[in-house]
Chains A and B, each alone.
Chain A
């Protein structure tokens, strides 16, 4: 039973446009969410995070939105660049869950020039 779901295995976007990657979760105990980016043959790299006390966190071209009532978060990349092409993982944790992160299956983003 997947507690973190990324229902779109892939997404293709034109350079300069907005990329929106979605993530849903089922465990209401989750209170901290992270996005990781992964290039082929490399480990995942931390991108941005958000605490459940916020509904938005922004870092440069990357913004994460959290809708707790819907148990949904999204990552917006504006403007998208070809170098953003990678697999993006959503991850979640909870206070009392110690060091454990639960990952989604990932969404492969392709940004076309």
Chain B
């Protein structure tokens, strides 16, 4: 299995809703990431989990709450989002602590297209 699976593929939510994005990989990767990508912009790092511990939080607002229940799963809990949070949310994984130096870099999922209304 060489995939990162993200669910749901599309999500529409109101500003008062609570929802969660899910990400799963079974490649034995020990680092997992959340990226946010808006139209015509590069992917922007939000969070990094390394060996199931949060290692990087790029000053993301608290309405986004990551969770790593185990080495294969990564969640992003959403609450009280704003319309400007509408974007493609990408999950990625990599083998270890310095993934950029590991052949293959990241493996990305297909993303969740989030629309906040």
Give the interface of A toward B (CB within 8 A).
4, 9, 32, 34, 36, 41-46, 49, 51, 89, 91, 93, 95, 97-106
Contact = CB atoms under 8 A, between A and B. Distances in A.
Nearest to B103: A49
Interface of B: 4, 6, 31, 33, 40-45, 48, 50, 55-56, 90, 92, 94, 97-101, 103-111
B8 to A, nearest CB: 13
Contacts of A95: 98, 101
Nearest to A4: B42
A4 B111 CA distance: 22
A45 B101 contact: no
27 contacts: A41-B110, A43-B6, A43-B90, A43-B108, A43-B110, A44-B90, A44-B108, A46-B104, A46-B105, A46-B106, A89-B43, A91-B100, A91-B105, A93-B100, A95-B98, A98-B48, A99-B31, A99-B50, A99-B94, A99-B97, A99-B100, A100-B56, A103-B42, A103-B44, A104-B42, A105-B40, A106-B42
Contact of B98 (A42, A98, A102, A104): A98
B58 to A, nearest CB: 8
The 7 A-B pairs of least Cβ separation, nearest first, read: A43-B108, A93-B100, A103-B42, A46-B105, A34-B105, A44-B108, A43-B110
Contact of A43 (B56, B92, B98, B99): B92
Contacts of A97: 100
Contacts of B106: 44, 46, 101
Nearest to A93: B100
A106 B111 CA distance: 17
A7 to B, nearest CB: 13
Given A43-B111, A46-B104, A91-B105, A99 B98 contact: yes
